[in-house]
Structure 1
Amino acid sequence: MSADITAGPATGAASIAFPRYEQTFPALTDHEIMRMRRFGELRTYKDGETLFETGKVGPGMFVVLSGTVAITQRDGLGHVTPVIDQGPGQFLAEIGQLSGRVALVDGHAEGDVETLLIPPDQLRALLVAEAELGERIMRALILRRVSLIQGGVGGPVLIGSPSLGDTARLQNFLARNGQPHHVLDPATDKDAADLVARYSASRADLPLVVCPDGSVLRNPSETSLALAVGMITNHAHERLYDVAVVGGGPAGLATAVYAASEGLSVAVFDARAFGGQAGASARIENYLGFPTGISGQALAGRAYNQAQKFGAEMLIPVSVRSLDCSQRDGVFALATECGQSLRAKSIVVASGARYRRPEIENLDAFEGRGVWYWASPIEAKLCVGQDVVLVGGGNSAGQAAVFLSGHARKVYMIIRGGGLGASMSRYLIERIEAAPNIELVFNAEVIAVEGGGDGSLERVRWRSRLAPEQHGFDVRNLFLFVGADPATHWLDGCGVTLDRAGFVVTGAQSEQNQGRPVPPLETSVPGVFAVGDVRSGSVKRVGGAIGEGAQVVAALHGYLADAAKPSP
């Protein structure tokens, strides 16, 4: 947020500084508040009392009936930034309160305050029942989260050089999941330098992450960071869901939206971030309805918010280790990396594919430290004015090359084959050919990566497939887009049939003499369905994945209805 809108209620200056102010902080009429009363309960607060607190689970959305509530943003270093004062007719919440997540700001009563508190389940009911009013509220909730992200003052603080690979790794993780955060470089910021000295942090400990509650993590894993900042809830194992969706890419998100909107209880797992590989795409230009293109992050973010609106439980980042298909108590059981088990009446496999790791010497030593499997604005900042190497000849590689060419001095694009026509869309080929700083290297492959004493990448070695000589590029960033393998390891022992390449077989091919018609998206195990890139024979496109995610819901209804019938 800009400084002009943090001082108090709506003013002319605020509207000019933030053109969408009226949409972000709309005022409700008395009639609208009257319609909302059936969804909430009255709550009163004395001067100075806390309505909600950063890092603690928020109780829902507050509608201010009388008095004033001061909203401030606080980070783990104790820095407090005023956001806005809200008075009668205004409501207090952001998108996280659709699912009862932790609050990202503090709210304190200034004088006596009377409110209408609408808990998350009733807030979702309000958005659906009151369509026009719900649209205004939903837009405001989304814009408020965007403002918190763009403000760059709250959330966890990453202490480390922006050029450090692990800093970029955690930045990318938080950005992909729509979490406010900011980075302080100990080389230029005294508070950051003092913190590094206080914790005697070595290079391997960086970045330090200071959470809003003041706790400090040393170069944490994504899951550890998610647990520390409240991204993951611990109550999903207590429920029995109609459907568990494993994978939060376009197919999984589409399943969640359509299934939840039709009244099914849905839990969605993803090991890293919503959007899957598509979510890392800089621009998708061949998806219906977006003639100017849309970033994968924007498309996935809209679907993610839509799924929450209809009540889907989003468990991200949570990895599924195994699926128990024995159905001892009539339901499936999913074991997660957190050591918990979640139960569901049906399963949708939407786990997509894992980035393929080519046979390159020393590759694992530089992953996250100069070797990347995606190209987001965070990685692009590391490449400004530098040469980079990109490996791959498909659409994802083409999109990344065009994107990076706008930041890097030169992009060396190494392609194993002799051309691009068979694997890349024509519009991308034309853009690559028109870019003066993209150099194509055909019939070539990277064979090794090398680094210096600080552990970062310094050189990429490659060779032509037509000659024995080796060559080298002195670069600090290597991007790999060489395809992906199906993420089906968690299905081992469940009886789900896979094809030779490891993709899930569905429909008539999976019938295996069961003596019953099999829906097109059902696997060899009744009640287990597969959609998107993980499915054998699927069209590997965003549009195809979304279509299958919508299509599978009819089959889910059919299966659940049959399972509910009493045995003859």
Structure 2
Amino acid sequence: MAQAVNPARTVLMTVDDDPGVSRAVARDLRRRYGESYRVVRAESGESALHALRELKLRGDLVAVIVADYRMPNMNGIEFLERALDVYPGARRVLLTAYADTDAAINAINVIDLDHYLLKPWEPPEEKLYPVLDDLLEAWRATDHRSVAVTKVVGHRWSARSSAVREFLARNEVPYRWYSSDDPEGRRLLCAAGQDGLRLPLVVTPDGTALVEPADRDLAARVGLATTPTADFYDLVIIGGGPAGLGAAVYGASEGLRTVLVERSATGGQAGQSSRIENYLGFPDGVSGAQLTDRARRQAAKFGAEMLTAREVTGLEINGASRVVRFSDGSAIAAHAVILATGVSYRQLDAPGVAELTGCGVFYGSALTEAAACHGHDVYIVGGANSAGQAAIYLARGAKSVTLVVRRASVTTSMSHYLVEQVEETPTISVRANTVVDAAHGEHQLERLTLRDTRTGNTELVDAQWMFVFIGAAPLTDWLEGTVRRDPRGFILTGPDLTPDGHPPADWELDRPPYHLETNVPGVFVAGDARAESAKRVASAVGEGAMAVMLVHRYLEQS
């Protein structure tokens, strides 16, 4: 439950080195919120931190901090990052000029910025107050007691250590990372009775030590829901990417008792994207993590139940119910099922790659590793949108970024806006007609063998970081024998099941399958797992909503 809040002791803070701007922000905040909150004004990051520490000692709460980006000595991003240590639950807003929007967007990933506002914010009734209203509502819905942080001790080049950090980050679980070589890391290992040979060590907020934990054990220990609250639902959604989250929002908001089951972390591949610029309603772009967080909170607000780290291994038909089986042997059932399992990154089949995965070789954007790439040469394998988005993001800190592309150009597989950005970024280069023949390194990636597909010539290059985006394969093998798929494993639905206008032989109803319905009545598909889907975030969300509409139609006729 959210802790009771005393408005008289709850603060809205504004920080700006320009006295005129500082007074204007404080004036607008007092005009709207002065009766319910205390507005505190500071004119530098240093003085604001001093004020925050005093507020902490007195036991006051801070709900929102609004900081200007361009301040001397300590800019707004640096200040907000340090403010996290004092008030981790405060909502953070960055005031910025249009020229600094890239820095603001980057801050969404670096310090989990909640929002940025362009100056001037006039009229506040349209540009300031709606943002603050939403942030205050979200803040009031949370518990404001001090947050104990999960600690992770691991080795920099440990695949499992990297996977645990990625799991926690994508599930928005606060954690602190300690190298096993650092003094604090060694102290935690000693306290847990470990010699450092088995890593990672995870210490949960209640002091429980977990050694090399599996995702499900880790999820349960850090407070993520892993067990369903019921045996039967109206709707089970399998997969928590954009399609699954879209279905969860619409299913729960329209009165269906809905549960979403995700094997790793909500967001899918889109949730790992550093920046999505062509999603409707976000003209300045949005990170996959931010979009996922908003969708997840929206689904939860309507009452959707979300299970994490649960692997689905089977689907059975039992009369009117559809039974979903988990890897541990347990099961839940529902009137209808939406398959939104998405796709997984295709593995790069070259000598040395498998052995170095997680130790310099990563699939997907692996945003938790981005900071460590600063000043290094980075190689990205692939030429589609995911590769382009990762290249733009990593180029902000990397010494150089090289796109390794099998085709003659990225223009045939990458959106035009990304092609333009890649061409305009001086630290990004494209090696066309090139493939990775091998990865080399003892304990971490050290070199790559690149081959020109036209001449057959090879080159050995130094490399510590390689991110792979070479297409995707559907996660549908577990449906073999139940749901019909195409030769590549993508699920057939609606018209694809009736090419001659006749329902499939095993179809048991008088009507033909609905557009997103499989050969099993009441089992629908949305998103990338569907044959001939558009493979775009917007279309996946739309299919999630459409699938819920068809579920309602199915239930009405059952």
Normalising by structure 1, we get a TM-score of 0.73
- Distance in 1 between residues matched to 2:511 and 2:58, nearest whole Å: 60
Aligned 1:376-525 pairs, distance under 5 A: 376-452=366-442, 455-494=443-482, 496-510=483-497, 511-513=503-505, 514=507, 515-525=510-520
- Tell me: CA distance 1:213–1:559, structure 2 relative to 1, closer, same or farther (3 Å): same
Pairwise CA distance, 1:213? 2.1
Letter in 1 for 2:386: S
In structure 1, what residue type is equivalent to 2:519?
S
Q: 2:186 aligns with which of 193, 199, 202?
A: 193
Q: Is the 8 A contact 2:180 2:196 kept in 1?
A: no
Mind listing any 5+ residue stretches in structure 1 that lack a counterpart?
Answer: 1-7, 30-80, 88-103, 106-134, 564-568
Deviation at 1:519, TM superposition (A): 1.0
Deviation at 1:84, TM superposition (A): 4.7
Are residues 376 and 358 of structure 1, via their aligned partners in 2, closer, same or farther at CA, if it must alter by over 3 Å?
Answer: closer
Instruction: Measure, in 2, the Cα distance between the counterparts of 1:83 and 1:294.
Output: 37
The structural deviation recorded for 1:232 is 2.4
Equivalent pair of 1:397/1:481 in contact (CA under 8 Å):
yes
Give the one of 339, 344, 355 matched to 1:354: 344
Aligned ranges 1:180-219 → 2 under 5 Å: 180-190=174-184, 192-199=185-192, 201=194, 204-219=197-212
Cα gap change, 1:301 to 1:28, in 2 (>3 Å): farther
Q: Say which SS state the counterpart of residue 375 (structure 2) adopts.
A: coil
1:293 and 2:285 matched? yes
Shift of 1:179: 1.3
Larger CA deviation: 256-265 vs 468-477: 468-477
1:340 is matched with which residue? Answer: 330
Distance 2:10 2:192 in 1: 46
Matching of residue 167 in structure 1 with residue 165 in structure 2: no
- CA distance in structure 2 between the partners assigned to 1:82 and 1:263 by the alignment: 45
Superposition deviation, residue 171 in structure 1: 2.1
Q: Percent identical across equivalent pairs?
A: 37
Letter in 1 for 2:432: F
Instruction: Write out per-residue CA displacement over residues 536-556 of structure 1, whole angstroms, 9 at most, x where no aligned residue.
Output: 111111111111111111210
Secondary structure of 2:446's partner? strand
CA-CA distance at 1:189 after TM superposition: 3.7
Distance in 1 of aligned mates of 2:269 and 2:159: 20
1:528 deviation in Å?
Answer: 0.5
Are the counterparts in 2 of residues 459 and 472 from structure 1 also a CA contact under 8 Å? yes
How many residues are aligned here?
Answer: 450
Match 1:155 to one of 149, 153, 157: 149
Which whole-Å deviations, capped at 9, do the CAs of 1:497-549 have from their partners, x for residues lacking one? 11122111111322315452221010111011001111111111111111111
Q: Distance in 1 between matches of 2:200 and 2:141?
A: 24
Contact 1:163 1:382 (8 Å CA) reproduced? no
Q: Deviations over 1:441-493 (max 9, x none)?
A: 111111221222xx222222221112233222221211000010011112122
- Report the Cα offset of residue 420 of structure 1: 1.2
User: Against the structure 1 CA distance between its residues 136 and 441, is the aligned structure 2 distance closer, same or farther, given a 3 Å change threshold?
Assistant: closer
Post-superposition shift, 1:246? 0.6
Letter in 1 for 2:187: D
Residue pair 1:160, 1:167 contacting (<8 A) in 2 also = yes
Pairwise CA RMSD: 3.3
The one-letter amino acid of 2:178's match is L
Say if 1:278 and 1:340 are closer, same or farther in 2 by CA, change over 3 A.
Answer: same
SS in 2 for 1:554: helix
CA displacement at 1:205 relative to structure 2: 1.9
Structure-2 residue corresponding to 1:115: none
CA contact (8 A) 1:332 1:346 kept: yes
User: What amino acid is the match of 2:278?
Assistant: N
**1:230 CA displacement:** 2.6
- Aligned counterparts of 1:226 and 1:156: Cα–Cα separation in 2: 12
Q: How does 1:236-247 map to 2 (within 5 A)?
A: 236=229, 238-247=230-239
Deviations 1:85-134 (A, max 9, x none): 579xxxxxxxxxxxxxxxx99xxxxxxxxxxxxxxxxxxxxxxxxxxxxx
Match of 1:345, SS state, is: strand
Following superposition of structure 1 onto structure 2, how do residues 222-233 of structure 1 map, counting pairs within 5 Å?
222-233=215-226
Residues in 2 aligned to 1:141 and 1:323: alpha-carbon distance in whole angstroms: 39
Judging changes above 3 Å, is the alpha-carbon distance between structure 1 residues 28 and 216 closer, same or farther for their aligned structure 2 residues?
Answer: farther
Are 1:9 and 1:84, in contact at CA under 8 Å, matched by a contact in 2?
Answer: no
Distance 2:327 2:35 in 1: 44
